[in-house]
Structure 1
Amino acid sequence: MAGNSQRRNRRTSNKKGAQVGSGGKRRRGLEGKGPTPPASARKGHKKNRVANAQAKQAAARRPAPRRGGVKGTSEMVVGRNPVYEALRDGVPAVTLYVQQYIDNDERVRDVLKLAGDRGTINLMEAPRPELDRMTNGLNHQGLVLQVPPYEYAHPDDLLAAADENHEDPLIVALDGVTDPRNLGAIVRSVSAFGGHGVVVPERRAAGMTAGAWKSSAGTAARTPVSRVTNLTRALEGYQKAGLTVVGLAADGEHTVEDLEELDGPVVIVIGSEGKGLGRLVGETCDYRVRISMPGGAESLNAGVAAGIVLYEVARRRA
C-alpha cells in the first residue's frame, strides 16, 4: 500500500531535508548579505537623516534651469541646387547623403567639392529608397544635407555680450515674423550695425532654419539668436535690467528720428508686415515709433524696417 513501502531511504514528505555540510541549515540561510553599508546610507540612522537634509538644502540653493539656451531641431535640405546653395552660403551641416549610382554631373561635383573643402561634413552613400524615406518622398535628386539643430542663446546672454564689450545693449525682438528669410536678413542687419542679438518667440514665429542661415550671409555664426516662451515676459525682464523697449508701429506717437531714447540701452520690437505688433507686446513697449515715409507707403518689410532703425541707432552712437 502507498505509504507502507519497505524500501530504504524512500522519501515520504515533500519537505527537503538539511543539505550535506550545511550544519543543519539551508543554503540560502548561509549566504551573506554583503558588506555593511555606511551609516549615511542606512535608513533611520542619524547620519542618514543628516545626509538627506543636506541634499535638500543643496537642491534649494541650486539655481532653476534657464528657459533659453535650448536647441532647435535638425533639418534636411533636399535637392541639388538647394544643397549647393546651402553649402556655398556657409550653412552648417553634419552629413551629406549621396544616392548610390547618382549621375555625376557638374552640380553634384560642385556639391562634393564644397563638402570636402569643409572637412567636417560626413559623406554617406545611401540607396534611393532610404533617401525617399528620410525626406518623406520629396524630390531630393539624390542629394540630402543634414543641418544640425541651432543652439539658441538665453536672453541674458545678449546682455552679457554687451557688457563684455562695455557697450549699451542693442537688441532686436521680433513679434509674429514668420518668414525665415526676414529673420536671416534682420540677423545680418543686427550684425552690421553693432547689435548684440535677436529675440524670437517660440510659437508662431520663424526659427533659425537653413533658409534663415542663408539670408544671414554667415552672420548667424557670430550674432546670437534667443528663443523665448513668452515674448512679453522677456521684454519685461529687459525693462527691469534698465533697457528701453521701443516698438515699431505705423501709428506710433514718435518718429525714429526724434526719439532720444534710441541713444541708450534699447530693445527694438518689430512686428509682422501685415498685423504689426500684438496687443500685449504693444502695451509692454515704453514707446511706439514710426518710420517717416514721404512716398506714402503703408508699411515696410520687417527686414527693411529693422535695417533703417538699426542704422539710425548706429549713426547716433557713432
Structure 2
Amino acid sequence: MIKSFIIFTLMRKDQHTIFGINGCTAVLESKKYKIIDIIIQTKSPAERDPKITHLLGYYGGHIKILNSTQFKSDFHKWRTQGIVIRFSGQIDSVMPSFLEMKGNIGLLALDGIEDPQNLGQIIRTSECAGIDGIIIPKNGSCGITDTVLQVSQGSFTQIPIYVVSNLNQTISNLKKDEFWVVAVENGIESKNWHEIDYKEKTLVVIGSEGRGIKKINLDNCDFQTTIPMQGKTNSLNVSAAVSAIAFERLRQITSN
C-alpha cells in the first residue's frame, strides 16, 4: 500500500482543505486558487461525476488516485463522496468604495459570530439569496476556517467576504457611501423584518445568538428590525434569521 501523503498538521495558514462534490466543484470552477492536491477515490461518486471529470482535465499534474481502502483510511472521518482538494489562496476580498455604485446593493455585517457552522451556513444562504458581500470583524469572530468553507458548500467562491479591523468604523464608512444600516435586534422600536425597505443600498447587521450586536455598533445603525416568534422558543438560530431577511430582500428587489 502506498504510504499516505496527506499530512494536514503541516499545512500553512493560507492552505485549506475541502471535500465533497459541490465544494470541490466550486473551487475548481472558480480558478481563483492554487490547487495543491486533488485526491480521488476509485469507483466513487466523484470519479463518476461528469463535471468533476471535465474539470480534472485542467489539473492533471495535481491528481492523486487512491483505491478505496487507502482513501477511506486517510479520510474515514469525512463524508467526502470520493474527492478531497487541498488548495491555497486568499479567501477574503478587499472592500471597495461603494459611493459611485448606484441601485440596490445588499451587504451583511456579522458582529461576533463565533460558531463556524453558523458562519458557513450564513455564507451559503447569503450567496443563494443574492447578498452582495459579507463583512466580518478580524477579532471576535470565528474567522474563515476549513469548517466554514466546508459548510458553505463552495459558496465562498461566489460571494465577497470582507474581513475588517473595526466593524463600527466600517459601518460609518458605508453610511457615507449612502447605505441605510439595519440592525437585527429585538427592541421597542424594532419593525417587523418584512416592513423594512431593502431596495436601496442596505447594510444588515446581525449579532451572535448569545450577546447580540455590540452597543457601539447598534447605536450606529439607522433602523432596527425583528422577526417575531409564534412559539415558546424566544429566538431563531442566527443563520435562520439571516435566511428570513436575505430572502425578504430578494423578494422585494425581484418583485414587479
- TM-score, normalised via structure 2 length: 0.70
Superposed CA offset, 1:191-214 (max 9, x none): 222221101111121333332223
Q: Among 92, 96, 104, which residue is 1:156 paired with?
A: 96
Contact 1:76–1:144 (Cα < 8 Å) also in 2: no
Q: CA deviation at 1:290?
A: 1.1
Tell me, in whole angstroms, the C-alpha distance in 2 between the residues paired with 1:307 and 1:87.
20
The one-letter code sitting in structure 2 at the alignment partner of 1:94 is: I
The one-letter code sitting in structure 1 at the alignment partner of 2:201 is: P
* Counterpart secondary structure, 2:93: coil
Q: CA deviation at 1:181?
A: 2.7
Contact 1:200–1:231 (Cα < 8 Å) also in 2: yes
Structure 1 stretches of 4+ with a deviation exceeding 4 A read: 82-89, 106-116, 139-145
The one-letter code sitting in structure 1 at the alignment partner of 2:153 is: A
The answer for the alignment partner of 2:217 in structure 1 is 281
Q: Among 241, 249, 274, which residue is 2:177 paired with?
A: 241
Q: CA deviation at 1:231?
A: 0.5
Within 5 A, what are the aligned runs for 1:55-66? none
Q: CA deviation at 1:259?
A: 3.9
* Counterpart secondary structure, 2:198: helix
Contact 1:249–1:289 (Cα < 8 Å) also in 2: yes
Superposed CA offset, 1:278-312 (max 9, x none): 12111211122211111132221111111101112
Contact 1:178–1:204 (Cα < 8 Å) also in 2: yes
The answer for the alignment partner of 2:37 in structure 1 is 96
Question: Paired residues, what number?
Answer: 219
Q: Among 232, 239, 245, which residue is 1:303 paired with?
A: 239
Q: Among 152, 156, 165, which residue is 1:229 paired with?
A: 165
Question: Does the alignment pair 1:120 with 2:120?
Answer: no
Q: 1:181 to 1:119 in 2, by over 3 A?
A: farther
Within 5 A, what are the aligned runs for 1:1-318? 73-77=13-17, 83=19, 88=24, 90-91=26-27, 94-96=35-37, 107=41, 110=44, 113=47, 117=56, 119-120=58-59, 123=62, 145-156=85-96, 159=98, 163=101, 167-251=103-187, 253-257=189-193, 259-317=195-253, 318=255
Q: RCO greater where, 1 or 2, for CA within 8 Å and sep 6 or more?
A: 2
Superposed CA offset, 1:133-159 (max 9, x none): xxxxxx9569985331334222226x3
The one-letter code sitting in structure 2 at the alignment partner of 1:312 is: E
Q: 1:203 to 1:314 in 2, by over 3 A?
A: same
Structure 2: tracts of 5 or more residues without a match: 1-11, 28-32, 65-72, 77-82
Contact 1:93–1:145 (Cα < 8 Å) also in 2: no
Tell me, in whole angstroms, the C-alpha distance in 2 between the residues paired with 1:288 and 1:121.
52
RMSD: 3.4
Tell me, in whole angstroms, the C-alpha distance in 2 between the residues paired with 1:191 and 1:123.
29
- TM-score, normalised via structure 1 length: 0.58
Tell me, in whole angstroms, the C-alpha distance in 1 between the residues paired with 2:203 and 2:209.
19
Which structure: greater strand fraction? 2
Q: 1:260 to 1:168 in 2, by over 3 A?
A: same
Structure 1: tracts of 5 or more residues without a match: 1-71, 99-105, 126-138
Q: 1:305 to 1:178 in 2, by over 3 A?
A: same
Which of 1 and 2 has greater Rg?
1
